[in-house]
Amino acid sequence: MAQRDPYEVLGVPRDSSADEIKSAYRRLARKYHPDVNPGDQSAEEKFKEIGSAYSVLSDADKRAKFDRFGTTEDSPQDPFFGGQGAGFNDLFEMFFGGAAGGGRRQQRMGRDGGDIEIQLDLSLQDVLNGVQREVTIERLTECDACGGKGGEGGAPPVACQTCHGSGMVSQVRDTFIGRMQTSAPCTTCRGQGWTIKDPCKKCAGQGVAPEQSRVLITIPAGVENGNTLQIPGQGHDGMAGGSPGNLYAHLRVKRDKRFERDGQTLYAAVDATFAQAALGHSVSFEGVVEPHEVEIPAGTQPGTQIAIKNAGLPPLHGGRRGDLILQVNVVVPTKLNDTQVKLLQEFAEVSGEDAPKGESRGLLGGLFGKKK
């Protein structure tokens, strides 16, 4: 199967910078991530395709190979002379590195900033209404002495004189099967392709320095446990023109004492006495937003579920709230006075039940005890 054009997959032009490609990848990855599209097979396949395209365009050598040959796949033909398109350029690259007349792609000066990850604990009320949280994080910010360049007095990085900015050094040697080329990261610049001649004294040539920063994070209503929010550009600053990283807030919704959650639906228990369940009654229940008058129908059995529409949680992107499902818990008294015992004995008799004659022993232990 022919390899699909990675530029087309990410929706970027061929002359896009590394930052533009990275931005397009992150945008599409968020849109088609399996956690955002649970059970959507087409979204999952699209997510894999996006990742494959980015793996090509984020790698300078793979990108250069695709730009020249329209594929990154190894040719099934003879590696020296076979197949269409093979020839002088292939041999030149094999022995000397890069395309004939072109040379190896030069590394971009500077360095992108890293991402920062934090965890935020939320309550059920936070999920219901949405909330803003101000957090204090330690991040690497642009050095004010060198302006983030890394060099003393703001001098920028310069191309490495050893590898000429490629980040790699090559050695061609003769072997019994012919001339062979080996490549390895440049030890002078540690594979970066650039060096700092006179490092800034304040940041030691790093271009960044640690600083406490406050960030206001807006958390929308309807988030779920395990969701992650991305705050673009609030990670560590880049060096010498590199892009800043992002801040990722991983959300943890704490368990509520009264409610269990399943998506937008809430579950809770509502108590009713034996008499209320048998005769029917209206009981009050405090919901997540307002109190509800819950009608207990006559003859309600323990475990009966009663649904209250639109009394649950909102979906993440707005819309109708879920339902509140109340499970009736029939409360059986553990102690009865003489009058209550007598009345229940009479009830048992008229119901044709074997009414116990003993003292008050609780409804379960006495009146409704199993026959021996």
Dump pLDDT digits (tens) for 303-348.
Answer: 999 999 999 999 988 889 999 999 999 998 888 899 988 988 888 8
Residue 131 exposed, middle or buried by CB count within 10 Å (0-12, 13-18, 19+): middle
What percent of the chain stands above pLDDT 70? 83
State the residue for tokens 């119901």.
351
CB 146 within 8 A of CB 243: no
Rounded CA-CA distance 324/306 in Å is 8
CB 335 within 8 A of CB 276: no
Judge: domain 260-331, CATH 2.60.260.20: yes
Confidence of residue 355 (pLDDT cuts 50, 70, 90): low
**Mean pLDDT, residues 171-191 taken together:** 79
Q: Residues 108-132: pLDDT tens digits?
A: 667 888 999 999 999 999 999 999 9
Q: Provide CATH code, domain 107-153+201-254.
A: 2.60.260.20
Rounded CA-CA distance 240/151 in Å is 9
Higher-confidence position of 91 and 265: 265
The encoded tokens of residue 209 equal 């320095």
* pTM assigned to the model: 0.59
**Mean pLDDT, residues 146-157 taken together:** 89
What pLDDT was estimated at residue 73?
63
* Sheet with 247-253, side-by-side order of all strands: 116-122, 247-253, 228-231
**Mean pLDDT, residues 281-298 taken together:** 94
Domains 107-153+201-254 and 260-331 share a fold: yes
What pLDDT was estimated at residue 311?
95
Q: What are phi and psi of 26, to 5 degrees?
A: -65, -40
Nearest to 156 by CA among 174, 171, 143: 143
What pLDDT was estimated at residue 31?
86
Query: What distance, in Å, lies between the first and last C-alpha atoms of the chain?
Result: 78
Domain residue spans of the chain: 107-153+201-254, 158-195, 260-331, 338-367
Rounded CA-CA distance 280/296 in Å is 5
What pLDDT was estimated at residue 33?
78
Say whether 300 sits in a helix, a strand or coil.
Answer: coil
